[in-house]
């Protein structure tokens, strides 16, 4: 194994193991462990509660952590990016559907454009603000809002009662109120940042130290 491969192998191994653990945990949490009572039939999956983990979202902030430098400063930048980006989306969603309801998209487009402008303008506050991380976090909320039925904008966009009936993924199985879409995304993004710092530190422990001359 060459020197480059030896340097990369510990990080790749740690990320592979943590990716497996996160995937196993998040999917079981969402579809088996914390579901609406009485919906997890044998051989099937249950209806997720309003709070659930979003498997792919953690990989967004995990990757952003390394893109920002993969160190303690990167952790802070992406943590703040997760907060700024998701809160901007939290404000955008209700303004969007109050401006133009289903089936008109222009209200969504208008407020996304306005908050995109604001998120970039915050750069004037200083280098601590990482706009390249804020944008994906902003988008992550909209990604899950669309995937779960666009509650608030689309009619019957969230699950009512104890049975799936919304417009979300899995035939309405994942239909989530928009405020919970924000909260689930924020929590999962923070999990991704934690996975980033943990993977970096574990890889550092496993990486062979240079031999002293």
Quick one: pLDDT band at residue 43, thresholds 50, 70, 90? Answer: confident
Please report, for residues 73, 103, 124, 161, 178, the alpha-carbon distance to residue 89 in angstroms, rounded to integers and kept in the order given.
24, 20, 20, 26, 10
Domain ranges of the chain: 3-40+50-206
**For the CA atoms of 130, 63, 32, 44, what is the dihedral angle to 10 degrees?**
120
Q: What share of the chain is helix, strand, coil (3-state, %, to 5)?
A: 65, 5, 30
Judge whether 137 and 189 are in contact, CB under 8 Å.
yes
pLDDT tens by residue, 99-138: 999 999 999 999 999 999 999 999 999 999 999 999 999 9
Rounded to an integer, what distance in angstroms lies between the CA atom of residue 173 and that of residue 163? 8
Q: Which residues contact 78 (CB under 8 A, 6 or more apart)?
A: 61, 64, 65, 68, 130, 133, 193, 196
pLDDT tens by residue, 53-65: 999 999 999 999 9
Rounded to an integer, what distance in angstroms lies between the CA atom of residue 211 and that of residue 111? 56
- Report DSSP letters for 1-59, one per residue: --HHHHHHHHHHHHHHHHHHHHHHHHHHIIIIISB-TT---TTS-PPBPSS---HHHHH
Length of the chain: 213
Of 39-43, 48-52, 158-162, 205-209, give the lowest mean pLDDT range.
158-162
């Amino acid at each position: 194994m060459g020197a480059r491969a030896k340097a990369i192998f510990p990080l790749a191994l740690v990320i592979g193991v943590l990716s497996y653990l996160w995937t196993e945990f998040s999917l079981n949490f969402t579809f088996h462990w914390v579901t609406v009572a009485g919906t997890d039939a044998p051989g099937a999956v249950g209806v997720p509660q309003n709070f659930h983990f979003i498997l792919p979202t953690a990989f967004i902030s995990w990757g952003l952590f390394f893109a920002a430098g993969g160190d303690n400063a990167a952790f802070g930048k992406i943590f703040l990016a997760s907060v700024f980006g998701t809160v901007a989306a939290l404000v955008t969603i209700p303004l969007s559907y109050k401006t133009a309801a289903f089936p008109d998209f222009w209200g969504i487009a208008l407020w996304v454009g306005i908050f995109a402008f604001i998120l970039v303008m915050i750069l004037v506050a200083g280098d601590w603000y990482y706009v390249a991380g804020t944008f994906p976090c902003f988008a992550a909320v909209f990604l899950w809002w669309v995937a779960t039925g666009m509650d608030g904008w689309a009619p019957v966009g969230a699950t009512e009662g104890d049975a799936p009936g919304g417009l979300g993924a899995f035939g309405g199985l994942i239909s989530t109120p928009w405020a919970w879409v924000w909260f689930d995304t924020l929590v999962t993004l923070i999990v991704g940042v934690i996975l980033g710092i943990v993977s970096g530190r574990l890889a550092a422990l496993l990486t062979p130290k240079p031999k002293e001359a």
